[in-house]
Homo-oligomer: A and B are copies of this chain.
């Protein structure tokens, strides 16, 4: 990770902080060395022949790109951008473009039905057991909504990973992250918790059969049903706030 060579002198129209950010990014990506620490800001400044100010600005960019984690008094450590970074970016776009949550949910449906098709083909007995444990854990925490939601999301992410496609797994996890913030604020996934557990067991059973078409249908039913729950909950809330108080007592 030392030996960060010179800047691209050809494309030097950009400001220094950006050139340096790009150069370090290239080094991080190509060297592929993870969990390593970057040289200190002073050393980087000397190495690139620029002021520490420039290095600091470049590090902020790399941090925003999810490539480094800057710790006070510690140093800058290389990190991998992950699903949460994708979630944040998409969330920003969704908010700014006022994208309706139905559209977000539709994407979830597309990705997760595709994922479970592959998962049904590839899943092993051991992995099925892990999934079963996850559902058990959901059941145990049925009345602790925060934990239950967390387990629920993890179950879906596991299926994403079982697809065998790393990028699909990432996107499933990213959309889950987007919807988590989307839905949890205000809308507590309404009643039907036992029903929720039951329907997750149905997904598990479908995976057991190994039939992609069947598994896809079960997943689709589950997601559609979940979305209807959200809509119902939302309708109830708007009744309670917009209209007359429900229990005027």
B165, A107: Cβ atoms closer than 8 Å: yes
Given A104-B167, A106-B165, A165-B106; A80-B96 close (CB under 8 Å): yes
CA distance in complex: A82, B114 (Å): 25
Q: Which partner residue on chain B sits nearest A28 by CB separation?
A: B96
| Chain A binding surface, main DSSP class | helix
A92: interface (CB < 8 Å): yes
CB-CB < 8 A to A63: which residues of B?
A: 61, 64
CB-CB < 8 A to A149: which residues of B?
A: none
Q: Which of A1-30 contact B (CB under 8 A)?
A: 15, 17, 21, 25, 28-29
A72: interface (CB < 8 Å): yes
A187: interface (CB < 8 Å): no
B107, A171: Cβ atoms closer than 8 Å: yes
B89, A65: Cβ atoms closer than 8 Å: yes
CA distance in complex: A92, B61 (Å): 14
A110, B80: Cβ atoms closer than 8 Å: no
CA distance in complex: A104, B169 (Å): 11
Q: Which partner residue on chain B sits nearest A61 by CB separation?
A: B64
For chain A, which range describes its interface: under 10, 10 to 19, 20 to 34, or 35 or more residues?
A: 35 or more
A132: interface (CB < 8 Å): no
B96, A168: Cβ atoms closer than 8 Å: no
A53: interface (CB < 8 Å): yes
CB-CB < 8 A to A147: which residues of B?
A: none
A168, B106: Cβ atoms closer than 8 Å: yes
A81, B61: Cβ atoms closer than 8 Å: no
CA distance in complex: A64, B88 (Å): 13
A154: interface (CB < 8 Å): no
9 A-B pairs closest in CB distance: A64-B64, A110-B114, A60-B60, A61-B64, A103-B165, A57-B60, A29-B95, A103-B167, A99-B166
Q: A60-B64, A63-B64 are in contact. List 18 more A-B contacts (CB 8 A).
A: A21-B64, A56-B57, A57-B57, A60-B61, A61-B61, A61-B63, A65-B89, A66-B89, A80-B97, A81-B89, A81-B93, A93-B167, A94-B167, A107-B165, A110-B110, A110-B111, A110-B114, A110-B168
